[in-house]
Chains A and B, each alone.
Chain A
Amino acid sequence: MHVLNNKKIQPLSLDRVIFSTTFQAADTSAEDFLSKNELNYLHTYPKNKLLSWCAGRRAAKMAIAECVAENFNLFLEPYEIELIPRQFQKPGFSISSKSISIENRGTIESAIVFSISHSQNTTIALACDLNLNGMMGIDVEHVRSFAPRTAEAFLTADEFYNYRKLPLSRQDEQATRLWCIKEAYLKATGYGLRIHPQRVEILETEYQKYVLKKDGRVIQSSIQWALQDTFVVSCVQIPKS
């Protein structure tokens, strides 16, 4: 099955964080990057989401493999990495490579964190060393319009006030960006949508400088975002305390 074309980009400048992006054009065979279990699962997956599922796996595995090479000087084939999804929680991975000792596999599996995001035909993933970079989450969203009640439901009162003050032409991008940053934070922490997005507040203190609050409390974090074509990509980093 031919599914993907891989293209790397560095939309955000973060030291020692590996980004990988895949687009759903043809060139790579699924056998090149899926583990045996994943190949078996592939046949049970709904066809309409198959490409995006494969794109996510490929992007994440490329990022993880590169991160492992950089941090541990060990080289993995993408099919030697198996991603372990957990609904609304941080996903994990396991390594099947026989050339790496079981002890080392365990060390790597607990040291490297990754995050995947999809929007339309674009998938982006990041991987980093938890000890060096802390917790990280990434999100990509196609700039879209929100029904007023949706925007009001996920934005805090202050965010919604500032959003409504913007000219109409800028509101979609602003709401998409705020969703994207909140989602990246929820992924970094592993909360996912288990907590209401309104419990997270993003305030721009000066141009492109943000403060992130959860339940009204400032969270030490680094927020980056970029507008690429019609996509917003955001990344939230929470340093290890």
Chain B
Amino acid sequence: MTNKEIQEKVINIFSTFFNIDRAVIVPEAILAHIVRDSIQLFEVVIEFEREFGLQVKYDDLIKIITVQDVYDYITSQLKEAKSE
């Protein structure tokens, strides 16, 4: 999966879940500003796991501050899964 495809999927998930304009979902956008509450955050994590076939490590969530961090995290997890 290319970086562009990852970004496209992430933007689709965010815009659908939070009912926000795609233009708002820029790499530097802060997640806490986009996510309404913890249930929504949890639902999005589940959706990422389903969409990308990943098992998110919840301990890692602390490092994810911006939308760019989401891209980077998914990219690194996909790479890790591929190399195993």
CB atoms of A193 and B61 under 8 A apart: yes
Q: B39 at the A/B interface (Cβ < 8 Å)?
A: yes
A144-161 interface with B by 8 A CB criterion: 144, 147, 149-150, 153-154
Which residues of B are interface residues toward A (Cβ below 8 A)? 32-33, 37-39, 41-43, 46, 58-59, 61-62, 65
Q: Which of A49, A179, A194 contacts B39 (CB 8 A)?
A: A179
Which residues of A are interface residues toward B (Cβ below 8 A)? 45-46, 49, 87-89, 118-119, 141, 144, 147, 149-150, 153-154, 179, 183, 193-197
B contact residues around A87 at 8 Å (CB): 32, 62, 65
CB atoms of A88 and B43 under 8 A apart: no
Task: Please give the distance in Å from A184's CB to the nearest CB on chain B.
Answer: 11
Q: Which of A45, A183, A194 contacts B33 (CB 8 A)?
A: A45
CB atoms of B33 and A153 under 8 A apart: no
CB atoms of B58 and A195 under 8 A apart: yes
Cα A88 to Cα B62 with chains together (Å)? 6
Q: A150 and B43 in contact (CB under 8 A), knowing A87-B65, A194-B61, A194-B62?
A: yes
A contact residues around B42 at 8 Å (CB): 150, 153-154, 193, 197
